[in-house]
Structure 1
């Protein structure tokens, strides 16, 4: 009686849209993506030690891992970004956000939403994520939110 619910009817449809057709896959090998992210972590730490928050954010947001089979790299990149957000003073946020490129702002918005989706918001307080969201929306506009939510390349 319940067997009809277990049939995948999309397998019979020639015009079905596959997840892999929605965006270009990351051309890098998953092992290479993980190595790249681990190298970024050390570069980000040195940038933070110098007080270069914008440079650290640029490193994390540039060429962010996306797609299947790179979950560990995604988590490491997210934790690195959250450490940057936590270490930034609230008065510095507007200047840092305005210094980012449009693509970097969109990627930052994706990471903010990913951080908010974590159970208990992970290692970061809600006020930090919401403060960054507020300043990013003021600088980039609501278009940044729309682009982050409609882009299929999930970070």
Structure 2
């Protein structure tokens, strides 16, 4: 039985195929610049956390996140930085921090929460931390935040 037809990429023959690059504008920065920015943010976040400024650390790391397919190293570094902030925040402080974020920052945080949950074994973060932040973020931002995070084509 001939099954070679299953190996044909039919999208290669479709004129109307929608490419990921057509869905959103890529990050205008050079990939090396994106990595350098992520490293600078990580250092700034460590400084803010040393001063017990959780909100400042979270705002810093959520501002202008790396998007695109050629900046995976910067995306992973940003995720690790966010996980550090989440782990260093007391559960009683989470609602106030979430309320102080802009709606765009809340949506970006939701994307990172889902990215963290999508890691095999959830990486180096406890599931209870991610779920706790998800719960508080959903209480403040509503379910619209979840929908915007899931439907946005720009992946973090």
* Whole-Å separation in 2 of the counterparts to 1:13 and 1:126: 42
Partner of 2:22: 21
Mapping 1:1-150, distance limit 5 Å: 1-150=2-151
Offset at 1:19? Answer: 1.1
* Whole-Å separation in 1 of the counterparts to 2:120 and 2:17: 33
Secondary structure, counterpart of 2:133 in structure 1: helix
Indicate the RMSD between aligned Cα atoms, in angstroms.
0.8
Mean alpha-carbon deviation: is it higher for 77-86 or for 19-28? Answer: 19-28
List per-residue Cα deviations over 1:3-44 (Å, max 9, x = no partner): 211222222221111111111111111111000000111110
TM-score with structure 2 setting the length: 0.97
* Whole-Å separation in 1 of the counterparts to 2:81 and 2:53: 14
* Whole-Å separation in 1 of the counterparts to 2:25 and 2:58: 24
TM-score with structure 1 setting the length: 0.97
* Whole-Å separation in 2 of the counterparts to 1:37 and 1:125: 23
Q: Which runs of 5+ in 2 are unaligned?
A: none
Offset at 1:131? Answer: 0.5
* Whole-Å separation in 1 of the counterparts to 2:115 and 2:147: 15
Moved over 6 A (4+): none
* Whole-Å separation in 1 of the counterparts to 2:71 and 2:32: 8
Offset at 1:2? Answer: 2.3
Give the aligned length. Answer: 155
Secondary structure, counterpart of 1:89 in structure 2: coil
Partner of 2:152: 151
